[in-house]
Amino acid sequence: MKRTKQDEGEDRAVAVPSDGGGTKKRATRPAAAKKPPAAAGVLAQPPLQLQSQPVPQSEPSSPPALAAVAAQAPSRGNEPGALAPRGDRPVDLVACQERIGHTFRDESILLAALTHASGAAHRLASNERLEFLGDAILGFIVCDTLYQMFPHSLEGDLTRVKSVVVSRETCGRISEQLGLTEFLIVGKGLAVNSAVPVSVLSDLFESIVAAIYLDGGIEPARRFVSRWMEPEIEQVSSGAQGANHKSLLQQLSQRDFSVTPTYEVMEESGPDHSKSFHVSAFIGEQRYTPAWGRNKKEAEQRAASNALVELRAAGVGIADAGRRG
């Protein structure tokens, strides 16, 4: 039989020492055939076509609530006027800033303030942390305002006014007045077409306060809070929403004059189903400037407020009213 080179290669052996001192043969596999070198200027294999299939770049994952941005508006980063998604619709951040009255240098802060936990990829991407900060900033600004506006009021009276002004109901109502629900970013679990809970609206307002503070500092935040909260403070302090001027006047009158104030309706106006009352407060024979109210209770509170102002102007110790001893 004619032997081939492959057969001859299989018969090759390497001499290795045996246990007995001799040698034995060990079969080896044929050596791999060497490839001939490529001719000069010629590639051994066709080049890889790298340009025909570009390598896709991985992109960071985005929250589900933000997924609609790319499909509806070009990505513009922090460029003023960038659109942020609200469910299946974009949110116009320009209109939102006009409504708030503050132009953000970093619109991502505003976007976070508008994002409810239900519309965020995770809770750190929602407005919960901003709400925490905004609650403290709002409380500070309101307390500072009350301290400056009412230098002769007791701590307890200031606290009562503050508790109404910064309440969930008040903050939620201001969010509605601002129309912030139009820009609120929520998930499927909180339908934007249904009534938004007061707690969500209140948190939204406090988040906006914090966002303005982080973006521009305390002064822009103070201007924003003052614009919306000072009318509330004036309304509460006038007796319209529970600041008890009658109680304060009674304490002062009993302490300084040993009498209890009385109230008298000086005039009535309007039809029976919608009357207004003009009421004066009296301390003994002294009558104080009357005040109108939509009912007797409101008119008496405002009349007591007028009496306190006049007593303060006369130098009566309003700051000590309510203290025992």
This prediction has a pTM of 0.50
Cα–Cα distance for residue pair 45/236, rounded to 1 Å: 86
Looking at the DSSP bridge assignments, the partners of residue 85 are 90
Q: Whose CA is closest to 11, among 36, 29, 37?
A: 29
pLDDT value at position 148?
92
Per-residue pLDDT of the chain (325 residues; tens, 9 = 90+): 555 555 554 445 444 444 544 544 444 454 444 444 444 444 444 444 444 444 444 444 433 333 333 333 333 333 333 344 444 557 788 999 999 999 999 999 999 999 887 766 677 778 899 999 999 999 999 999 999 988 888 888 888 889 889 988 889 889 988 888 888 887 765 654 557 788 889 999 999 999 999 999 999 999 999 999 988 888 777 654 445 778 888 888 988 899 999 999 999 988 888 788 999 999 999 999 888 888 898 889 888 878 887 887 777 754 444 333 3
Cα torsion angle, 137, 320, 262, 260, sign: positive
Cα–Cα distance for residue pair 189/117, rounded to 1 Å: 10
pLDDT value at position 2?
52
Q: Which position among 206, 215, 232, 300 bears the catalytic label?
A: 206
Exposure string (b/e) for 35-45, b if CB count within 10 Å is 16 or more? eeeeeeeeeee
For strands 262-269 and 89-92, give the pairing.
unpaired
pLDDT value at position 199?
87
Catalogue all structural domains in the chain, each as residue range(s) with its CATH number. Answer: 64-237 (1.10.1520.10), 245-320 (3.30.160.20)
CB atoms within 10 A of CB 178: 19
Indicate the DSSP class of residue 34. P
Find tokens 């499909």 and name the residue: 71
One-letter amino acid for residue 242 of the chain: G
Q: Which position among 135, 157, 203, 300 bears the catalytic label?
A: 135
- Residue 13's φ and ψ, nearest 5 degrees, are -145, 155
CB atoms within 10 A of CB 237: 22
The answer to whether residue 135 is catalytic is yes
The answer to whether residue 206 is catalytic is yes
Find tokens 């300084």 and name the residue: 256
CA dihedral in degrees (286, 292, 296, 302; nearest 10)? -60
Indicate the DSSP class of residue 33. P
Radius of gyration of the chain (CA): 40
Cα torsion angle, 234, 236, 239, 243, sign: negative
Half-sphere exposure of residue 65: CA atoms within 13 angstroms, side-chain side = 28
